[in-house]
Structure 1
Amino acid sequence: MYQIKKILFIAGITAIITIAATAAIAQQRPAFLSKDAEYLWPTNASSYLSATFGETRSSHFHAAVDIGTWGREGFDVYATRDGILHRVAVSPYGYGNVIYLKHDDGSFSLYAHLQDFEPRIRAIVDSIRLRDFNPDFDRNMERFRIHYKQGEVIGRTGSTGIGPPHLHFELRTPANSPFNPKLAGISVPDNIPPRFNGLSVEPLSPDALINGKRNILTAVPTIRGGVFDFGTIQVSGEIGLAVDVSDRADNANNVYAVYELELFVEGDRYFYSRVDSFSYSSVGQMFLDRVYPLLRSTGRGFQRLYVRNGNNLPFYKTNSNKGRIRLPEGTHSFTVLARDFSGNESKATGRLAVSANTEEPVRNLIKQSFIPPPAIIAMNGDVRDFNRWFWNSNWIAPGTDTKPLEITMLRDNGNGAEKFTFKNTLSNSWISLEQARSAILATSDGFTYELHRLHPGVVNAISTFDQKAWARFSENALFDSMSVGISYRIEKNGLPSVSVMPDNEPLRTSFRLSFDLKGIPDELMDKMGFYTHNSRRNSYGYVSTQRNGTVLTATPRQLGSFYVLPDTTAPVVSNPRIYRRADGKWFASVRVRDDLSGVDYRKSTFYVNGVRGIAEYDPYGSVLIYHLPDFRPRRVNTLRLEVSDVYDNRTRAEFTVNN
């Protein structure tokens, strides 16, 4: 048995005690941890977990536990074990101010979103940054030979990087892979079982229907006798189940990730998962573990109870069909079990009423033997109707909420063109993409969209017919084979938007998107960039863009629609202030806003009373902060700034601020 040290809070007094790990946890601890390994609860802020390991984030799994700080900053952060200062970074994004300690067994502990470092670290970081006033910092620190004993203060809690205030506490193996800190005893009392919030059912084959529709179904449970029941669902073809499930701890309001999931169909185990550790090289596979279309559209992290192609996370044990469900006609029961790390368990049940799809399937008109030339699919509707179709990586089918469309497909059968027309009112109308290298979609509103069959492990390049827009996917960009289409159109402002579809299929890595701006006025060329559009907020998000001659190239992380826009407006600077932090340090700040390409804090300068400081940026508060060691304001202070955006539109501002 090994030991875990925790901090207790009694009448405002901090006490460190040692508690014994349970036998269950000791059996599950990582192999590199010796039986004598001890971990200290890393802060005196609270003993409250606000988030746990493996939770859904916007683009990755959460790789740590978060410890709540009650909306406040400046609590002590302790070295959880003896260790050497391995790495320190400062950034307005991601981890923010972060410390990495390396321990004797080669493992690491990481402390992120800090308000500040202890004085030795702060002095080194600032002395290096002040050489060129670069606000960013990320260096290996082992050459400074700074060692900490367990329990020594290494920093203060904060909200840098991603707020609100909390401590992100992460443990990594000697191979630098994050592992669940609960395996090391970092835990809280938990006697509350998980809760099922929803079920999703995905069609996985062209003949799959769910309650008569070819869409992803979501359902909410009723609770009967402590069991969550999802009722009876009508299905045909091959389907996949997923659950939206959460957990809580005693006296906690935050919801957590569950530790284990199991799926049984008619008593046979189809799927099992347990989240102990993962490699950073596979962190993006969260998009495959979750139902990506629902995550993208609703933000809810439905966890799949089957393994999608391309997913090699180490979480799973499944049947021979990877948890996918295809059953004979009749009614079949299923059970889902969810457990938290403390062993609390909840059960969900449901029934699948399986029927055969008896309608004659539409002929597969896209055959390898007829490519090239590509198959041509002509529709009597516009592109908006087609975008509402259900996209699978291997086939597409009309969604049940689309209006009836007549679709004509042409192919060269060797003796001339063959024409076939059908209406998508047929529930089993679908177009196979698996054997086609390309297919042209032509709509009645003049939209032309060419689908290309792409494969992982090779470089893939696609373009529009006129070569104005093209995309390049590296050999590592795709999780699995899929069909991708590219098109563009000229918007009302006279500038292009480029669509790379389908946007409900995730990518492993970013891709390169290019557009030839030949014909755009020269005075705008240097200001052009790619942007995504958030229709709910009616706002644009900049995608990092470079220009080579008349060609713009961006590196989007996912597929979708991208707008080419000029940024000719300088940032707005307002709300100057001088303030003193709770630890006694003085700062100056201004509010900055730029609605297109965004503030480029690296190119911005900040002087107070004629002395230049480091211009640190808080993107979430839209604040530029003047940082200078030992700064002391006068009674009347002059703030002088030059704030730039990505496209070098600059605002020069001067303010007088009384202290």
Structure 2
Amino acid sequence: MKFIWLFCCCTAMALGQNQYPKDYFRSPLDIPLQLSGNFGELRPNHFHSGFDFKTQKKEGFNVYAVAEGYISRIKIAENGYGKAIYINHPNGFTTVYGHLQSGFGEVEKLIKREQYKAKSFEIDVTFSPNDFLVKKDDIIAISGNTGGSDGPHLHFEIRDTQSEKIINPMYFGFDEVLKDSKRPMLNSVLVYPLGQNSAVNQSKRPIAVSISQQADGSYIAEKVTAFGQLGFGITTFDYDDVSWNANGIFRVQTFLNGKTDFRYQFETFSFDETRYVNALIDYGRYKKTGQRVQKLFAEKPYPLSVIQSGSNNGVISVTSNVNQNYKIEIADFSENLTKVFIPIAYAPMNIEVDKEPVDSKYWVKTNKENIFTQENVTVTIPANAFLKDFNMDFEVKNGLLHLHDDVEPAFANMTITFEDSLIAEKDRSKMFIGTVDGKKIYYYNTKRYKNSFTVYSKYLGDYKLFKDSMPPKIKIDKKIGGQWISQQEAIQFTIYDDLSGIKSYEGTLNGQWILLEYEPKTKKLIHRFSDGIVAEGKNDLKIIIKDNVGNSTIFETQFFRSQKP
């Protein structure tokens, strides 16, 4: 069905900062709203870009257009947002609905048409204003658990249509239904000695600071004695009144001797900067312990727009004969505050805890390109890939590249190349570079040229050259060969590959392409007979599965089905 876009472009107005309509958007669900994730929350390699609304631990709820507009984009992917719908609204904002089970009604028909047109489960299609109009309260989809989702929920975003920056939905009135009267929770405060000539409480390593909560809910920390430069970090989270689980905080602001020192607030940001979550947190501690410490300083500035800081970027200089007062304020969107007061004093001291030793002769300089070679492996690190200089543990042994531990975040791709002239020509197409994490091997898209194999990666860790000569596996969940299956609504398979992983899948019924929906989390591949491809009576089914180095498996069978009532 084709709709006509009735909105005049001149009605869209450019809203200035903070001029967000409070009562324009309705809820995308018709159940009580609860959050399992909020805007700006710290996630692996990114800040969370919207709200995750709980759906009572199940799929199947109606998802509504929150305002009038038109469907501007549909993206179906195996990972990420899974099945996602984008709606442009005439007030200059775009809403996004992710991890959907399916579209609803005409929207689902549109999705299927585009998939069959592209002959692909994964699609990314944009639409013009006159293609598909929706009204406020229209059901557009059914909630699900597709893509990179850990459980059933609805991912919801609001973006500025023109700039594509993501905006905190709280600014649009969602704070009225997600009531919050509770102060953010503070778990710990850490202090970091910065540079070679600094120490804190007789330590050259980061240490925890003891804090005690006062009757008014604020905290007072033990006195920090130090010399040189230092910075602070916190672990913190927030509860609201309705969601009953820990979410991220909205704002952190620090004060040194009464003056604002370092601040960040999650109002809006762009996708280009979201990886800098790895700079905001103590990345090494997170990779070792799983604990995300939010650093309230930057040894080297980085382009994260949520941060506002003075000339010292939150770094505090401790000098003789000067006592200083440091305060941290942690706020949620409702302006509930948690305050921490930390006295700082200069003191020369004996060092009881020295820096962690690093036994390496390789030194990474961030302001220039670094090239390291050992045996048959070359690693090229571009300038400014890392935010600081560091000693790198670099070793090649028994074909395994150990490229430091993954404790320093990279923000540009390193180039990793293995040379192997002993590999037979016929085997080269089956070779790939993978990362090794314990017993798990993760495939990297590998470029091959003669005897050389190259990948691009933003991660330190262990790498190795692997050969995958085994084809992927496919198993039908319920045998159908030679049987009448008129009562079945779908056919389902389990597919997997033990090494390089599944790259593609394609199926035909009686020689005609069919849509196969793939869910990597469950390794399930499914075709629904409602697509209308199945023939009356005898049907010949063929499915071809390929892995990432080109090994393939063919599954063929014949079954019978009647579509007559």
TM-score by length of 1: 0.73
How far off is 1:473 after superposition? 4.4
Partner of 2:335: 343
Partner of 1:615: 516
Query: d(CA) in 2 for partners of 1:591 and 1:484?
Result: 45
Query: d(CA) in 1 for partners of 2:391 and 2:355?
Result: 17
The answer to whether 1:540 aligns with 2:441 is yes
Structure number with greater CO (CA < 8 Å, separation at least 6) is 2
Q: Residue deviations 1:175-205, cap 9 Å, x none?
A: 1100101011123111111101122322321
- The answer (yes or no) to whether the contact 1:469–1:488 under 8 Å persists in 2 is no
* Partner residue of 1:167 out of 154, 157, 170: 154
How far off is 1:35 after superposition? 5.5
Q: Give me the CA root mean square deviation.
A: 3.4
How far off is 1:53 after superposition? 0.4
The answer to whether 1:645 aligns with 2:533 is no
The answer to whether 1:152 aligns with 2:138 is yes
Partner of 1:525: 428
Query: d(CA) in 1 for partners of 2:117 and 2:269?
Result: 38
Q: 1:561 to 1:34 in 2, by over 3 A?
A: closer
Query: d(CA) in 2 for partners of 1:31 and 1:349?
Result: 32
Percentage of pairs with the same residue: 22
Tell me which amino acid in the other structure corresponds to 2:246: V
SS of aligned partner of 2:477 = strand
TM-score by length of 2: 0.84
Tell me which amino acid in the other structure corresponds to 1:179: I
Query: d(CA) in 2 for partners of 1:568 and 1:98?
Result: 36
Partner of 2:106: 120
The answer to whether 1:463 aligns with 2:372 is yes
The answer to whether 1:184 aligns with 2:172 is yes
SS of aligned partner of 1:464 = strand
- The answer (yes or no) to whether the contact 1:586–1:632 under 8 Å persists in 2 is no
Q: How does 1:72-87 map to 2 (within 5 A)?
A: 72-87=58-73
Q: 1:270 to 1:463 in 2, by over 3 A?
A: same
How far off is 1:244 after superposition? 0.9
Query: d(CA) in 2 for partners of 1:641 and 1:534?
Result: 32
Partner of 1:3: none
* Partner residue of 2:304 out of 313, 324, 331: 313
Tell me which amino acid in the other structure corresponds to 2:410: L
How far off is 1:576 after superposition? 0.8
Partner of 1:194: 184
- The answer (yes or no) to whether the contact 2:22–2:172 under 8 Å persists in 1 is no
Partner of 1:430: none
Query: d(CA) in 1 for partners of 2:182 and 2:557?
Result: 55
Query: Unpaired segments of 5 or more residues in structure 1?
Result: 1-28, 360-389, 391-396, 406-440, 442-448
Partner of 1:431: none
The answer to whether 1:482 aligns with 2:374 is no
Query: d(CA) in 1 for partners of 2:189 and 2:478?
Result: 50
Query: d(CA) in 1 for partners of 2:22 and 2:43?
Result: 34
SS of aligned partner of 1:643 = strand
How far off is 1:281 after superposition? 1.6
Partner of 1:111: 97
Q: Residue deviations 1:481-534, cap 9 Å, x none?
A: 63575844232xxxx222334732212232322121222344543222222222
How far off is 1:333 after superposition? 4.8
- The answer (yes or no) to whether the contact 2:55–2:153 under 8 Å persists in 1 is yes
Query: d(CA) in 2 for partners of 1:348 and 1:280?
Result: 32
SS of aligned partner of 2:549 = coil
How far off is 1:240 after superposition? 1.6
How far off is 1:618 after superposition? 1.2
Query: d(CA) in 2 for partners of 1:554 and 1:510?
Result: 9
* Partner residue of 2:348 out of 346, 349, 356: 356
Query: Unpaired segments of 5 or more residues in structure 2?
Result: 1-14, 481-486
- The answer (yes or no) to whether the contact 1:586–1:633 under 8 Å persists in 2 is no
The answer to whether 1:269 aligns with 2:255 is no
How far off is 1:289 after superposition? 1.5
Query: d(CA) in 1 for partners of 2:165 and 2:459?
Result: 25
Q: How does 1:209-228 map to 2 (within 5 A)?
A: 209-218=199-208, 221-225=211-215, 226-228=217-219
Partner of 1:513: 416
How far off is 1:252 after superposition? 2.3
Q: 1:319 to 1:143 in 2, by over 3 A?
A: closer
- The answer (yes or no) to whether the contact 1:270–1:323 under 8 Å persists in 2 is yes
- The answer (yes or no) to whether the contact 2:54–2:153 under 8 Å persists in 1 is yes
Query: d(CA) in 1 for partners of 2:105 and 2:522?
Result: 26
Q: 1:32 to 1:260 in 2, by over 3 A?
A: closer
- The answer (yes or no) to whether the contact 2:377–2:396 under 8 Å persists in 1 is no
Tell me which amino acid in the other structure corresponds to 1:511: M
* Partner residue of 1:588 out of 480, 483, 491: 491
Partner of 2:3: none
Partner of 1:453: 365
